[in-house]
Amino acid sequence: MTEPVVGPNIGLWASHLIRKPPHTGKATPWHEDSAYWNGRVSTLVGICTVWLAIDEATPENGCMRVIPGSHTGGAAGFSEYELVDNTKNIFGTQIKPEMIDEEKAVYFALQPNECSLHEARLIHGARANTSEKRRAGYTMRYFPTSSKVFRDHKDFPNHKIWLARGKDIAGNVYEGACPI
């Protein structure tokens, strides 16, 4: 599923569970995943996140929303950020509001076991969960093995990666193989 974005040689950067409890889930501010990869990989091209719905994801319970085409803004893919209240938000920063046209936002409503894929430079976020339903999803972040991952980045020393499929091209060091 990720090959059209990543290519045939695929590494796994990370995976994690994201959960928003009813009425209490924090908002996910507008951001680009690429901003968190800055300085940690040789290129941002081809990085892909798979967002697998465990629960139904709706606008009411905080499903992801995206700004279509925002990933084509250039190779860097970094917008201007500002600090936000991290007691109400998952992250402590967000893209400055004047840079986002929320009327262009598209919601990724998903049923359990459905998934969405997005490229690392795509601007996306999610509102807080205001519904009676929990919203949980599992994310998997993949990269082309032609990208060199700098495992000893100051913010993430000894970051572990896995070879998911194919072969390494850039001389990365992997923890092992993990089938996808």
Tell me the sheet residues that pair with 52: 115, 138
pLDDT at 72 over 80: no
CA distance 75 to 133: 38
The pLDDT value recorded for residue 154 is 75
CA distance 19 to 26: 9
The pLDDT value recorded for residue 89 is 86
The pLDDT value recorded for residue 142 is 96
The pLDDT value recorded for residue 77 is 53
- Per residue in 133-149, pLDDT (tens digit) is 999 999 999 999 999 99
Q: What is the pTM of this model?
A: 0.86
The pLDDT value recorded for residue 75 is 47
- Per residue in 26-52, pLDDT (tens digit) is 899 999 988 888 888 998 888 999 999
Q: What percent of the chain has pLDDT over 90?
A: 65
**Residue 69: burial class (beta carbons within 10 Å; 0-12, 13-18, 19+):** exposed
Q: How high is the mean pLDDT of the chain?
A: 89
The pLDDT value recorded for residue 165 is 93
DSSP sequence for 97-141: GGG--GGG-EE--B-TT-EEEEETT--EEE----SSS-EEEEEEE
CA distance 149 to 91: 23
pLDDT at 176 over 70: no
All domains in the chain, ordered by first residue: 3-165 (2.60.120.620)
